[in-house]
Amino acid sequence: MTKRTSAKYKIDRRMGENIWGRPKSPVNRREFGPGQHGQRRKGKMSDFGLQLRAKQKLKGYYGDLTEKQFRRIYAEAERVRGDTGENLIGLLERRLDAVVYRAKFVPTMFAARQFVNHGHVRVNGQKVNIPSYRVKEGDVIEVRNRSKQLAVLLEAVQLAERDVPDYIDADHTKMTAKFVRTPGLGDVPYPVMMEPNLVIEFYAQN
């Protein structure tokens, strides 16, 4: 299991954007960066800086994946036929923790990783506790019976700040979700603009 080394809202502050669209994000109150020099006027960012920022933002969004994990996913996206950027987004959205988050079983991507890790989720009737497990089209993800009354689950279902995307068919009465299809960039409801094309450029040059 990957340990998150920084508080999740530090990622927001570093990027200067509310990358999960959460109402509690400090960026909603202070748009400048963290630290005593955070309010200094920023100069124009270099191409490398823009590419690095795009990579850190996308990597941070999915629970602050390690560089090794993220590079492995990129390498696989590059190998598969088709647009590498679209492939990258598709692979990230097929992670079990991402599907659990998208289905609104938990309030945050970080909670999704913990929820899966603690054994609350079944895929096609089998217990799976690996957040990076890759679901396939048609897979049914369900919350195990003993976990259906957990407070975190009941709270997440009521959240008005986001909807379940159409590539996941969620039933909150049964606490099940079917992964209908692999999405492209335009299908994923990111609260901020993600730029996988810049991520591809970053890895191509570094």
Q: What is the DSSP string of 165-189?
A: -TTEEEETTTTEEEE-----GGGS-
CB-based contacts of 122: which residues, under 8 Å, 6+ apart? 128, 141, 142, 143, 144
Which positions of the chain have pLDDT values less than 50?
A: 1-6
**In whole angstroms, what is the distance from residue 118 CA to residue 150 CA?**
13
Show the tokens assigned to 24. Answer: 């509690």
Show the tokens assigned to 23. Answer: 């109402």
pLDDT tens profile 64-97: 799 999 999 999 999 999 999 999 999 999 999 9
Q: What is residue 64's three-state secondary structure?
A: coil
Place of tokens 């079983």: 105
Residue 63, pLDDT score: 85
Residue 73, pLDDT score: 97
Show the tokens assigned to 66. Answer: 């390690």
Cβ atoms within 10 Å of 14's Cβ, excluding its own: 19
Q: What is the pTM of this model?
A: 0.83
Residue 1, pLDDT score: 41
Sign for the pseudo-dihedral over CA of 120, 123, 125, 130: negative
Residue 5, pLDDT score: 43
Ramachandran category for residue 111: left, alpha or beta (phi over 0 → left; psi -120 to 50 → alpha): alpha
**In whole angstroms, what is the distance from residue 78 CA to residue 101 CA?**
25
